[in-house]
Structure 1
Amino acid sequence: MKKLMLLLVALLTVSLLAACGGETEKTDKTETNETVEGNPGSTDGETPSSDEPIRMTDEEKAKYYKVVEFELPKENFRDVIVDYMRKQSDIEWVCAADFSVSEKWAHWGISLNFKKGQTYRGIPYADTKVSYIQFENALVNGKYTCASDKWKDVYGVQCISSIMNSIQQFDPTVAGTSNQMMPSYDKFEAKICGEYEVPKGVNRTKDIIEANGEEVMFEALKQLKKGDIIMTKNDREGTSHFRVLVEEPTIYTNNLGKVVPSRCYVKTIEQTNAFDSKRNDGVKTTWFVDHVYSFADLLKSNYIPLTLESYSKDISEMEVPYILLDEAIKPEVLAKKTFNGAVRSNFPIRYVQLDVLDKSGVVVASLIKGDMADTRSVPLRNHFSDLFNNVKPGDYTLVVTGGIAIDSAELARVDFTLPA
């Protein structure tokens, strides 16, 4: 019995030593005994359960003309958001004709020039809030151009809309603009990461940092994980920017357990308003992929850490995304050059497209309703009255397509006649 007890004590000692093991690095007297923490890319302990998500019943589906469901990603949601950001940043396309994105405001602007024949990577920087599929569908033989230089015309995403696209692969509750990500606003839909106070109503992340002090904010940054978001915002000047962590931060602490901000860093992905001058591989892109920023630099630029409530939700609390057409489109209504019905979704709708095809299948008229931050219903009559403006009398087919961030679907194909 005594030998057995000694064996158990020995095993326990080995176990404790293994649990306390860590990597250390010696530096100067003020930063001795630094500890490296973090596990890049790890999402252990947050894998969705095997329970079923919330979906429409057959009785609910029967109320509508057509319902198309898109299954939730099976991967960990933290991986999903990073993967979709990478997907948006990685699509290759060739500029079909010179175009620009050019805007100027009081405190910032855009001046991007795309050259004919040049290959680019990533969805362009613009504010039409397109999904990956939308931009992919806009390519003609792998090429894209735009007649306008306005960021409200060019197919693209900016920093926040690219992140909204990524979040909305699984979560419809975080939607809209940068205001939905500001914790001091009533419309805040994300979640603060760490433990810091948020003074109500302040309109700058700088105010949040100053209210808490650097030490508190460094500790909050320390809590970031893969898929979390960092944000800087100054609504006095109308500026904001967002980045997504592609892995957990690398953390150095001193012998007092406090972070060493100049040595702690995050690796992120972000959409920006400038071409990445640090790329040395010949790639032309406005996406900054796997850039590294120290905690010290983040606070100097007034970044605060955010996360998502959905990361801690069980899969049974999540909704299966769907898009639907609520009623059959009537040929006799189309004959009057108007519409009935609406496209709806439980997720923000990215676009609704109506195409008119002649007998040969050639598109003779097309109209898209897009640039929607948080729209769940698009009544066709309200948005497509101009579709028939230049369509001559004859026999045609109307095709209705709609998309959310995760995917798109054809919702109707209706034959009709425009009378003389």
Structure 2
Amino acid sequence: MAGGNEPRDASRSYYQQNENRFCQGLLAIWALSDVNSDEGGLGLVPASHRSLVAAPEELLNGSDEIGVVYQPVLRAGDLILLVESLIHGVLPWTSSPSPTLVAFEYSAEKAARASKPTEPPADWIDELSPEQRAVMVATDQPDVGPILKSDGHSTTLEKKTGVYHPSMLIPDPECDIDSREFFLWDLCGHLVIRNVMDPGWLELANTAIDDCSDRIRVGGSAAKGSEILAGTGVPSLHELLELPKPHCEPFRKMIADPAVVQRLTWMMGSGFRLRNMRAICSPKGTSGHGLHSGADPIRPSNGYLMQNGRAYSEAINVAWQLHDVRESDGGFVCIPGSHKARYPLPPSFITCDETMGIVQHVAMDAGDVVLFLAGAQTHGAYPWRSERDRRTVLIGYGSRNIC
């Protein structure tokens, strides 16, 4: 895999300024034959052109796709355009004969690209020191050059070539942050934690909802006029923390669970507070939820920023799954990377009438938890289609800056 926004390469980057986009490098890939799902070929990581965290090495070398590599389905004659800084590569072909793709690379008028030397250096260059020559003479590998180091008093030329770019910040081995989770959070705007609840805890939570079903109230449809998302009103159980004992206990256990607190701490910083909590209890036929939230326009409640190695997330929802959920069932969907979008969401996306394939369903097992940027990441829900009720406990947290 190649590309990515960290470390930054100005000659291949994507910029957005004053309502204008600037793609310094663009790839145009034509499909000369059909490319079906899981057939291989073009693989890409959506939203990685805006990532502020270095991609894990296992993602780049292809040993682990970490669930973010997308292989587009193409028909003969299709054209796919991608900014060059998007992480992309060629996946192994699984069909025979292999489909055919043709790629063209375009550079912006102002893009400055390092190039190989076209003429031999002048004779006087030989009179310079190795350190001086390293600054004067282009190499045959423009992306990997000589490394000079200096303590402010003397300069030395390293024997090896490569990239050396000092930083005041270094990874803290005691920060208790999983580097892959850190990358995924910045890339996507959501993170799934598996198997947080054990079977006993799940049983207590589901029993509590069963026994308190008379408290469930049905709200209105959240489909926002969409025919695709249409259905009956959404049933919810509120005041979970105030249910009679022992029914309140499995929900009180959620509010400061260690697995969740660990992630919220590096996502938001200390001082976050619980803002709201409810259980979504949707039977078959319940409406979906039109897509909502997003990074544009910017508001305090939808803020997200990566700065000096820290994530600043102002509002986070934590959804606890009490039943298994698959895409055929319906439920939570989102647009990964939309927490960095700089353009309003098109109306057809809100209703899911036309999504251009960027809306992603998040499949989970009972006991899994998904954290997502409540105000910054565009999200919603598909209508519930399963014979088994949707059961999700949704908890909203706010940072110390807004609560």
Q: TM-score, normalised by structure 2?
A: 0.26
Higher helix content, 1 or 2: 1
Q: TM-score, normalised by structure 1?
A: 0.25
